[in-house]
Amino acid sequence: MNLFYDEYKRKLRTPEEAVKVVKSGDWVDYSSHICFPVLLDEALSKRKEELTDVKVRGSLLFGPIQAVECDPSREHFIYNSWHCTAYERRLCDQNLCNYIPMIFRNVAPYYTHFLTVNVAMMAVTPMDQYGFFNFSGGTGVAKAILEKADVVILEVNEKLPWVYGGLDECVHISEVDFVVEGEHGELPHFAEAEPTEEDIAIADLILPYIPSGATLQLGIGAMPTVLGRRIAQSDLTDLGMHTELCSDGYLDLYRAGKLTNRKKTLHRGKGITGMIIGSNELYEWTDRNPGIAVFPLEYVNAAETIARNDHMISINNCIAVDLYGQVSAESAGTRHISGTGGQLDFVTGAAMSRGGKAFICMTSSYQDKNGVLHSRIVPHFTGDIVTDPRSQAYYIVTEYGMVNLVGRTTWERAEMLISLAHPDFREELIRAAEEQHIWIRSNRR
């Protein structure tokens, strides 16, 4: 330990000292969510007047990001995100953040083969006696970023859980240029939205399709959350976890005795994830828990990996679906909302799994800020970003029912999707389908 501790002390800097390596024009990486380096970000923001055109990458950051907040003109710092939280979405609305199109399984290869990282900054756990720091819930793409970086700066966050892994979950002091320390606040978490009656109805439609022994991927949002609660109250047993993001829904299943991972056909006995975001109780549960393992997302989200889990059930939200079966889960028109994330990865992998199913869920309608009702099923997209192509649309669910679009013609899809629409919009959707030549006389009226 003395050998590693001596090296640690030699590399220890204040945040202000460490960020002096950043030069104008550099690409700087902030890693993601709970591994956001808040102390280094604050120190970098204080160099605003010395720097121009510093490009920063992050993902799922809850903010505030001081390098963004201090520079509304974006002359000094230009922030970019792989996947937006509500905070980053507001930055996009203010032209203070740009999205980086991707799918999660490819992010690490993007760094390896194509991207420049001049300085990587990320928060990690305290070093252990063997000289290793743990990437905690940020393991998904951490190692790939550090391996591409010219300079590596680690920020020790004493609040982070140490999460066991299967690959690239740690970095050694010998691979690091600088280390900084300091006190940190509570770790971030998603604010839980209260589920609506529609969310509950959708969850209840999906529940009968989940067998005991299934492996689950639950996306982000109120509907997957309420489905987790419904499963916790059901008679299902021996469920497994294989997911890009471990959230409190899995902790609820564990507490109810439903999540055992015993029947998994891949990594039996372990819940697999690439990221962890949730409550303090979730972080405590994942800390040095032998039943949880983090892996890089290029492994977790690879379709061939997902498919090795028999009865893989993938459940995700979307914003809208058009009559052709195209799914938009990341924009409203051209307004950016979140990102592709791993939705397409899991839609693909779950469909390949023996007994697997991929569900895309949404309420049939929504109200705008003026109280006007709009349909989430639309004739065709006009500017909306397509997350899942129509060729990979499977189960679509609203509070009005569920359809499976696999192998269906364009006119069958139109009929099936209109059956899921809010009744107030069905007639106008039929008229649109007729104009688009995807409605035939035998279709029900």
Same domain, 251 and 348: yes
Task: Tell me if 187 is assigned to some domain.
Answer: no
Half-sphere exposure of 267 (CA within 13 A, CB side): 25
**pTM listed for this prediction:** 0.95
Same domain, 232 and 348: yes
The parent domain of residue 289 ranges over 197-435
Same domain, 294 and 201: yes
At residue 361, φ and ψ (nearest 5 deg) are: -120, 150
- Whichever domain contains 159, its CATH number is 3.40.1080.10
DSSP 3-state of 288: coil
Cβ neighbours of 189 (radius 10 Å): 18
CA 201 to chain centre: 24
- Per the DSSP assignment, residues forming a β-bridge with 313 are 216, 357
Is residue 153 within 8 A of residue 119, CB to CB? The reply is yes
Same domain, 254 and 361: yes
Q: How far apart are CA 2 and CA 164, in angstroms?
A: 24
Task: Tell me if 444 is assigned to some domain.
Answer: no
Strand positions, DSSP E, 192-350? 215-218, 240-246, 271-276, 292-294, 312-317, 320-322, 327-328, 331-332, 335-336
Q: How far apart are CA 317 and CA 10, in angstroms?
A: 48
Is the confidence at residue 442, as pLDDT, over 80? no
Task: Tell me if 191 is assigned to some domain.
Answer: no
Tens of pLDDT, residues 327-372: 999 999 999 999 999 999 999 999 999 999 999 999 999 999 999 9
Is the confidence at residue 1, as pLDDT, over 60? no
Task: Tell me if 192 is assigned to some domain.
Answer: no
**Which pLDDT score, from 0 to 100, does residue 399 have?**
97
Please give the mean pLDDT across all residues of the chain: 95
Same domain, 113 and 207: no
Say how many residues make up the chain.
Answer: 445
Task: Tell me if 227 is assigned to some domain.
Answer: yes
Task: Tell me if 16 is assigned to some domain.
Answer: no
Task: Tell me if 10 is assigned to some domain.
Answer: no
Same domain, 27 and 60: yes
Could you give the C-alpha distances from 317 to 121, 224, 309, 338, 367, in angstroms and in order?
Answer: 31, 8, 21, 11, 17
**Which pLDDT score, from 0 to 100, does residue 2 have?**
76
Q: Which of 146, 180, 214 is the last residue of a domain?
A: 180
Q: Which two tokens stand for residue 199?
A: 């969310």
Same domain, 271 and 401: yes
Tens of pLDDT, residues 98-132: 999 999 999 999 999 999 999 999 999 999 999 99
Beginning with the edge strand found earlier in the chain, give each strand of the sheet holding 292-294 in spatial order: 292-294, 271-276, 240-246, 215-218, 312-317, 357-361, 395-398, 401-404
pLDDT range class, residue 413, cuts 50, 70, 90: very high
Same domain, 160 and 201: no
**Which pLDDT score, from 0 to 100, does residue 28 have?**
98
Residue type, 130: Y
Radius of gyration of the chain (CA): 23
Give the chain's end-to-end CA distance (angstroms, integer). Answer: 75
Tens of pLDDT, residues 143-159: 999 999 999 999 999 99
Same domain, 142 and 221: no
Determine whether 244 is an active site residue: yes
Tell me which of 244, 298, 330, 415 is the catalytic residue. Answer: 244
Same domain, 310 and 431: yes
In this prediction, what percent of the chain has a pLDDT beyond 70? 99
CA 236 to chain centre: 26
Task: Tell me if 82 is assigned to some domain.
Answer: yes
The structural domain count of the chain equals 2
- Whichever domain contains 270, its CATH number is 3.40.1080.20
Same domain, 223 and 116: no
- The angle at the Cα of 257, spanning 255 to 261, to the nearest 5 degrees, equals 110
Is residue 198 within 8 A of residue 399, CB to CB? The reply is yes
Q: How far apart are CA 387 and CA 231, in angstroms?
A: 27
